[in-house]
Chain A
């Protein structure tokens, strides 16, 4: 079987993680429209600074340029994509077809998500699909790797992906979340990128629990750039499973207006350093949400060069 892409510019997420290297990933949020210049600029900016880039899939239920197309652009530009797939907008047939395509175009890792609900997004009247959910999506990929689609039919050529999933360390209550984490591993998840964590003490407690469940599965801390007190207040009040602790909120409040971004950068650099120095986890996933420009600065402040990890 010939694949349309045979040479990869970068090592895969699997190769990085399994070599024991601390994984650094970034995120690309595709635009709403056909002007993809800025997105390409971000891709070019990040492709050599991070091991791989996640591409969000109609993030927050807001319609955007497709994640699959963006993943191909990342490949074309010499970067490594981590394709996010949600179950909100596509049923099992559509997801399977996308995965066949993704595999033949050299996409090697997929992050499996259920997806946000329709009402949080910008097409509030749309029909939500949710034919499958994250655990079943992981199962689906495993089945396709074994050469069968979900209808039980033979595939003429299977797929192979490094399968990722998410987990929410700050979920409340945490117990059901941990059971789901375990189920995702059982369903085939090989690596995790967590939802945003800020409270590093809580993250340590989460990691202890997670390691007890499985000490081999790879876990990368999800870090979201803080940009100001307003954003912190908004997140604490509106974003479920996200909690910015008081000391960080205070650090941001005390910063003069023109230094807020610099403060957010400093906080994240510190968190990255902590993850590496204290060997808390296997990597970090940096979500700069619209401020991708500053990711190189964050890494520089953290003293992280992916070629030297």
Chain B
């Protein structure tokens, strides 16, 4: 799940300066769960923009705005409203926003800040547990990721700042290394803790990432 936060409305208005006719896109997946770009938020945005004197030529909310073919299809389906718009306000993650970028030559505006790949703990409560490093080391650490959940990404045990199981950066956050220690102890695998892990390959997934699988899927 990609976690997004809504940008302040004033910031959105600023983005739309000089763009009087706007088409709004929401996402039926992550942004719906985050309540940043689902049907209710899109409807609310439409009302607020109209109250500011904008014309909303149309709105659409569909699954996976990040799916570029899907997005192009939605643009075709909403041809009239899309053509009437001067710009597009995208209420989902940065990937979705750039998917819209591929579907139009007009201006595209983000309505959200994209923060992390998150787990859903409960509604409205998300936690980052994986930062997509490209070379997963979970096997070594009791399936608790030190790359992500330790603020410093340490692979060899707790720093001096760990405090009663909490992280030096934020006492609301667990110290990953206390969790890893406890988990490996439970599994009887403390030998993994004792092992020295050399420098990580931070280029395992060289930015910007690109993967092409041969003959995968059938969908276009």
- Mostly helix, strand, loop or mixed at chain B's interface? loop
23 A-B residue pairs with Cβ-Cβ distance under 8 Å, sorted by A, are A88-B152, A115-B152, A117-B152, A120-B169, A130-B154, A133-B155, A133-B156, A135-B196, A136-B199, A139-B198, A139-B199, A140-B199, A150-B199, A171-B160, A176-B157, A176-B193, A177-B158, A179-B181, A179-B194, A180-B156, A182-B194, A183-B194, A240-B161
The verdict on B190 contacting chain A, using a C-beta distance below 8 Å, is yes
Q: What range describes how many residues of A lie at the interface?
A: 35 or more
The verdict on B55 contacting chain A, using a C-beta distance below 8 Å, is no
Known: A128-B152, A179-B194, A187-B196. A116 touches B161 (CB 8 A): yes
Q: Which residue of A lies closest to B171 (CB)?
A: A240
The verdict on A186 contacting chain B, using a C-beta distance below 8 Å, is yes
The verdict on B177 contacting chain A, using a C-beta distance below 8 Å, is yes
Measured between beta carbons, the chain A residues less than 8 angstroms from B170 are: 119
Measured between beta carbons, the chain B residues less than 8 angstroms from A177 are: 157-158
Does A240 contact B163, Cβ atoms closer than 8 Å?
A: yes
Does A168 contact B160, Cβ atoms closer than 8 Å?
A: yes
Q: Which residue of B lies closest to A175 (CB)?
A: B181
Least Cβ–Cβ distance between B59 and chain A, in angstroms: 35
The verdict on B164 contacting chain A, using a C-beta distance below 8 Å, is yes
Known contacts A139-B199, A176-B181; 16 additional CB pairs below 8 A are A114-B154, A116-B161, A117-B168, A117-B169, A119-B170, A128-B152, A130-B154, A135-B156, A136-B156, A166-B160, A171-B162, A179-B157, A179-B190, A182-B194, A183-B156, A240-B161
The verdict on A109 contacting chain B, using a C-beta distance below 8 Å, is no
The verdict on A75 contacting chain B, using a C-beta distance below 8 Å, is no
Of A131, A179, A240, the residue contacting B160 (CB under 8 A) is A240
Measured between beta carbons, the chain B residues less than 8 angstroms from A130 are: 152-154
The verdict on B159 contacting chain A, using a C-beta distance below 8 Å, is yes
Does A171 contact B169, Cβ atoms closer than 8 Å?
A: no
Of A116, A150, A168, A176, the residue contacting B177 (CB under 8 A) is A176
The verdict on B40 contacting chain A, using a C-beta distance below 8 Å, is no
Bitwise, B140-158 to A at CB < 8 A (1) or not (0) is 0000000000011111111
Within 8 A of B (CB), among A232-251: 240-241
Q: How far is the CA of A173 from the CA of B159 in the complex (A)?
A: 12
Measured between beta carbons, the chain B residues less than 8 angstroms from A73 are: none
Of A88, A114, A119, the residue contacting B169 (CB under 8 A) is A119
Q: How far is the CA of A183 from the CA of B193 in the complex (A)?
A: 9
Q: How far is the CA of A134 from the CA of B155 in the complex (A)?
A: 10
Measured between beta carbons, the chain A residues less than 8 angstroms from B155 are: 133, 135-136
The verdict on B134 contacting chain A, using a C-beta distance below 8 Å, is no
Does B160 contact A136, Cβ atoms closer than 8 Å?
A: no
Q: How far is the CA of A116 from the CA of B158 in the complex (A)?
A: 12
Q: How far is the CA of A131 from the CA of B155 in the complex (A)?
A: 11
